[in-house]
Amino acid sequence: MANYSGLSKDIGHQARNKTGVLLVNLGTPDAPTTKAVREYLAEFLSDPRVIEIPKLIWKAILHGIILRTRPAKSAANYQLVWTEAGSPLMDISVRQRAKLAKVLEKDDASVHLAMRYGNPSIASVMQEMHSQGIDKMVVLPLYPQYAAPTTATVFDAIAAELKTWRYIPSLHFIHTYHDNPDFITALCDSIGRDFNAHGKPQKLVLSYHGMPKRNLELGDPYYCFCMKTSRLVAEKLAMDPADILTTFQSRFGKATWLQPYTDATMAALPSQGITDIAVACPAFSADCLETLEEIDGENREIFEHAGGKSFRYIPCLNDDDLHIDMMANLVKPYL
């Protein structure tokens, strides 16, 4: 008869008693070059949750057209926002991780950062966590409003990696925080600081990342979650709902996307006598290409070209202390 006495101690099963928090954001190219952007877009746009077109048809379009033309234009846009610290999204995300780790020191939890596309990958960071003896994992995708093309893809990647593991840790996946009181408080504090410094604008525009309208029709709650975030912000700021505009940005292709579109709104507002606006982006947890170049660059130009006089971009929550405290309060119940 085999003798297994002492085996558990030798293998170290009892040592797996650590808790890890995994922050996940969308991702960024490794460099603002055509080659790096092409590699990033190839991974991002190959995800069937991101592009819901029959695989063979989309593969031909992606590799035959998009990856031949779009990377150079996107690389030029990335060069406009790239800093000495690198990609703004990556730089901010690293700071978020460090500050959250400091807040959670007393909870004896390690904090890790991964990107859904690009580096560091979810698989590589999870493998690192596994090697450290993580027995309990709390995953916080940094997408405030759940959507299948964002939050759900994180779950897909987590599940794909766990399929290769012999020992599965306890797992808690935080799938949305669009109406979390701490999130709304942090948003309103940021907006309020801008109002105190510069005065209240004629309109506050809340621009969310766009999504095909078809996703909503198929049951994705993203649109509803965005609208609830906007409503709660209006209530917290005690603003007339008519003074807050909810719009959607970053569309591409010929399909109808969630409306109203941000760029079309910017072009139309001055003709309606609205020439003083502030813009915030509550769907983004960190400033990135879509906020710094698309909103504070392209959409600012559209608004001013149409006759707008004052355009103020309110930065994302980034590593603001209230934002970090919100993250801590989200994960603490599961540590």
pLDDT tens, per residue, the chain with 335 residues: 556 555 555 555 556 679 999 999 999 999 999 999 999 999 999 999 999 999 999 999 999 999 999 999 999 999 999 999 999 999 999 999 999 999 999 998 999 999 999 999 999 999 999 999 999 999 999 999 999 999 999 999 999 999 999 999 999 999 999 999 999 999 999 999 999 999 999 999 999 999 999 999 999 999 999 999 999 999 999 999 999 999 999 998 889 999 999 999 999 999 999 999 999 999 999 999 999 999 999 999 999 999 999 999 999 999 999 999 999 999 999 99
For the domain made up of 181-313, give the CATH fold.
Answer: Rossmann fold (3.40.50)
Amino acid identity of residue 302, one-letter, is I
Do the two domains 15-177 and 181-313 of this chain adopt the same fold? yes
Q: Which residues are CB-neighbours of 55 under 8 A, at least 6 positions away?
A: 48
pLDDT value of position 15: 60
Q: How many other CB atoms are found less than 10 A from the CB of residue 10?
A: 7
**pTM of this structure:** 0.94
pLDDT value of position 13: 56
Q: Could you tell me the residue ranges of all domains in the chain?
A: 15-177, 181-313
Torsion of CA 97, 101, 107, 110, to 10 degrees: 70
pLDDT value of position 46: 96
For the domain made up of 15-177, give the CATH fold.
Answer: Rossmann fold (3.40.50)
**Angle, CA of 105, 109 and 115, to the nearest 5°:** 110
181 closest CA partner among 141, 215, 228, 221: 228
pLDDT value of position 271: 98
The 3-state DSSP class for residue 307 equals: coil
pLDDT value of position 11: 52
Q: Which residues are CB-neighbours of 275 under 8 A, at least 6 positions away?
A: 202, 269, 307, 308, 309, 310
